[in-house]
Amino acid sequence: MRILIVDDALFMRVTLEKILTKEGHEVVGHAGNGLEALAAYKKLKPDLVTMDMSMPEMDGVKAVGELKKIDPDAKVIMVSAMAQEMIVKDAIIAGALDFILKPFKPEKVLESVGRIAKRI
């Protein structure tokens, strides 16, 4: 899968990229906030986006909603350190297909990506 990684923390972007590329996925780009994510998505047309919840400029929930306006078929996995029920609901309502809790374990990331890959 061609994946765009969106997180304001460089360490998290690098960690996710290592997990994904080790399993044969192609990371086509990175973005540090929701606004950058929208521009990158339009340019790169990835199969999947991993989207952090809390970021400057535009948070992940808002970014997912905007992504869905650009491409109703956009596939997004939300990534967050907060697993409060309301936050997860907001992410799903915005259009996220799955949710990964930080700090994440590689197997959990790959399970989530695998679930999305089956939908494509």
What are the structural domains, with CATH classification, of the chain? 31-104 (3.40.50.2300)
Q: Which alpha helices (H) appear in 23-105, and where do they start and end?
A: 34-44, 60-70, 85-94
pLDDT in tens, 40-75: 999 999 999 999 988 889 999 999 999 999 999 999
What integer best gives the mean pLDDT of the chain?
A: 92
**pTM surpassing 0.95?**
no
Provide the percentage of residues in the chain whose pLDDT is more than 70: 98
Q: Reduced to 3 DSSP states, what percent helix, strand and coil does the chain have, rounded to the nearest 5? A: 50, 20, 30
pLDDT confidence band for 84 (50 / 70 / 90): low
